[in-house]
Amino acid sequence: MERAGDHRANSRPASADSAGRARAPDGEAAAAKPAGIGGLVSQRTWQRWTLSSFLARLPISMSLLGLVLAGQAATGSLATGARLAGVTTFCAGVVSPVRGRLLDRAELRGGLQRSCFLNGGLFTVFALCVIFKINVIVLYALCAALGYSISGIWGGFRALLVVAVGPDRLRRAHFVESFMVEASYGAGPLLVTILAELGGAVAVLLGIATVAFLAGFSLIGVVRLHPRPTARTHLLRSRKDIRVLVALAFCLGFGFGTFESNVTQRMAQYGLPANVGGVFLLLLSIGSMIGGICVSLRPVRRQRTARKASILFAVFALLMLPSALATSAGMYAGCLLFASLMLVPITGLGSSELEARIGETQRAEAFSFFLAATMIGGGLGGVLNGILVVRLGAWAIPYFTIGLFSLLAVVLAVSARRLDGRPTPGEVVTAVSGAPAPVHSDVTDCP
């Protein structure tokens, strides 16, 4: 998403500097600002952005299980519900870059509000269709529309972050945001379970709609971000460094999606029913949140990024290995707690690196490409797991992810000297491809 024009940013809670970035009012600027994570969480614009971001993402995490229950309530088939959820996710991933490009062409906060309200309206209609047992073809069409409505939310909020925090806190904010995403994916299924117990699938759908509407209204207090006129180019065609980051995001989603979708299938190996797999998936989410807390308190510096990414992928592979070798349910549960520790650090490193490269323009498009690659990779990973589990057995699937992440670690390590090359005189070089990067503040919070 493009940042605000250099002549104004038109924000409610903050004014803007000459680059269009949000700036605290004079009274706040005069006061001493706390350093580190305390300075970030005490910033009012970030608080408002975080509330809206969490509320907007919560319906997405709730919809995965909610649509499965809705499909069962409408047709009596869990398989139909799973297909409805799959269609929604697929459509969201496919149209996400297009939605990001459209958001870049208008004021971003208003675009996100419209997406949230559309999301809430569609879930309300979906609830009515379930009540009146409307034909399943209509439900599939609604799922495609839902995919469109949620597709811009992922990248749009990431793009809006640039005016919600100061430039010296932007890198840390991306790591905190990666943690908040994981938190929403932990809270969403839990909230769906509670609503389903209280009122069934219809209560779940109406609950999702309510949260989506609340997200739209909460955006009223968030800083505006106006588009900046610029020549439009196809981002992936013109920027090799962005292509590399998007490819790494796809590989991360592909590998972790294969590993995560395999968890419930491992239950039979330990003599447990498949529905117990939800508890084990919760442990996996807790592990990723622990990793997110660590990097939120101490973000990874933007220095020798490729080498650090290589180390993170190598550690990720090593931490997954014990879960593949676990011989009992208790051992497997314990191993899952630290198998996903590196998920948020790698995601945060990628998104903050992307932030440092895209600068002024095509922000929502860039983040939409990045997050769509992760999501589509995760979906394909689940498909691969479903294919391989029949041939190889559930116990063998984690070794695919371990091998993939190990390969990525080696490739990044071998290429690190070229990828992390020093900038030539008069040119700022990106850390991945060596392509010129736009001038953009990138001050880290940690020594």
Query: Domain limits of the chain?
Result: 1-21+42-229, 235-437
pLDDT at 223: 83
Which of 158, 134, 124 is closest to 49 using CA atoms?
158
In DSSP notation, 83-137 reads HHHHHHHHHHHHHHHHHHHHHHTS-HHHHHHHHHHHHHHHHHHHHHHHHTT--HH
Per-residue pLDDT, averaged over 112-120, amounts to 96
Lowest mean pLDDT among 23-37, 170-184, 323-337: 23-37
389 vs 33, more confident: 389
How far apart, in whole angstroms, are the C-alpha atoms of residue 131 and residue 73? 9
Q: Are 338 and 319 in contact (CB under 8 A)?
A: yes
pLDDT confidence bin for 232, thresholds 50/70/90: low
How far apart, in whole angstroms, are the C-alpha atoms of residue 330 and residue 171? 38
Distances (CA, A) of 298 to 137, 171, 301, 371: 49, 11, 9, 23
pLDDT confidence bin for 197, thresholds 50/70/90: confident
Q: Are 58 and 211 in contact (CB under 8 A)?
A: yes
The 10 Å Cβ neighbour count of residue 187 is: 16
Per-residue pLDDT, averaged over 34-40, amounts to 71
Lowest mean pLDDT among 166-180, 293-307, 418-432: 418-432
The 10 Å Cβ neighbour count of residue 26 is: 8
Cα dihedral value 261, 266, 267, 270, nearest 10: -160
How far apart, in whole angstroms, are the C-alpha atoms of residue 262 and residue 306? 29
How far apart, in whole angstroms, are the C-alpha atoms of residue 147 and residue 127? 16
How far apart, in whole angstroms, are the C-alpha atoms of residue 243 and residue 267? 38
Which of 319, 332, 172, 191 is closest to 256 using CA atoms?
319
Using the predicted structure, report yes or no on whether residue 342 has a pLDDT greater than 90: yes
Positive or negative torsion for Cα 235, 239, 240, 242: negative
Q: Name the range with the highest mean pLDDT among 6-20, 114-128, 239-253, 424-438.
A: 114-128
Using the predicted structure, report yes or no on whether residue 427 has a pLDDT greater than 80: no
pLDDT at 228: 67
Q: Fold match between 1-21+42-229 and 235-437? A: yes
Q: Are 92 and 150 in contact (CB under 8 A)?
A: yes
In DSSP notation, 51-94 reads HHHHHHHHHHHHHHHHHHHHHHHHHS-HHHHHHHHHHHHHHHHH
Q: Which residue has the tokens 């314990």?
A: 334
pLDDT at 76: 87
How far apart, in whole angstroms, are the C-alpha atoms of residue 140 and residue 259? 28
**Percent of the chain, pLDDT > 90?**
32
Per-residue pLDDT, averaged over 314-323, amounts to 96
Using the predicted structure, report yes or no on whether residue 44 has a pLDDT greater than 60: yes
The 3-state secondary structure of 325-393, one letter per residue: HCCCHHHHHHHHHHHCCCHHHHHHHHHHHHHHHHCCCCHHHHHHHHHHHHHHHHHHHHHHHHHHHHHHC
**Percent of the chain, pLDDT > 70?**
82
Distance between first and last Cα of the chain: 30
Per-residue pLDDT, averaged over 114-140, amounts to 95
Mean pLDDT of the chain: 80
pLDDT confidence bin for 35, thresholds 50/70/90: low
pLDDT at 334: 94
Tell whether pTM > 0.85.
no
pLDDT confidence bin for 420, thresholds 50/70/90: low
pLDDT at 212: 97
pLDDT at 443: 33
Lowest mean pLDDT among 156-160, 234-238, 400-404: 234-238
How far apart, in whole angstroms, are the C-alpha atoms of residue 133 and residue 100? 34
Rounded to 5°, the CA angle 390-391-395 comes to: 75
Q: Which fold has domain 235-437?
A: Growth Hormone; Chain: A; (1.20.1250)
Using the predicted structure, report yes or no on whether residue 435 has a pLDDT greater than 60: no
**pLDDT tens for each residue of 373-407:** 888 888 788 778 878 888 888 899 999 999 999 99
For residue 22, list its beta bridge partners. 16
Per-residue pLDDT, averaged over 296-312, amounts to 84
pLDDT at 419: 64
pLDDT at 391: 86
Q: Which residue has the tokens 């989506």?
A: 212
How far apart, in whole angstroms, are the C-alpha atoms of residue 66 and residue 57? 14
Lowest mean pLDDT among 9-23, 93-107, 215-229: 9-23
How far apart, in whole angstroms, are the C-alpha atoms of residue 130 and residue 139? 9
Q: Calculate helix-pair angle for 277-297, 343-358, nearest 10 degrees.
A: 50
Decide: helix, strand or coil at residue 429: strand
Decide: helix, strand or coil at residue 22: strand
Using the predicted structure, report yes or no on whether residue 3 has a pLDDT greater than 50: no
CATH class of domain segment(s) 1-21+42-229: mainly alpha
Per-residue pLDDT, averaged over 73-91, amounts to 82
DSSP letter for 265, please.
G
pLDDT at 298: 81
Using the predicted structure, report yes or no on whether residue 47 has a pLDDT greater than 50: yes
**pLDDT tens for each residue of 347-371:** 888 888 887 777 666 777 788 888 8
pLDDT at 361: 67
Per-residue pLDDT, averaged over 58-66, amounts to 87
pLDDT confidence bin for 426, thresholds 50/70/90: very low
Using the predicted structure, report yes or no on whether residue 115 has a pLDDT greater than 80: yes
pLDDT at 264: 78
CA 338, chain centre distance (Å)? 20
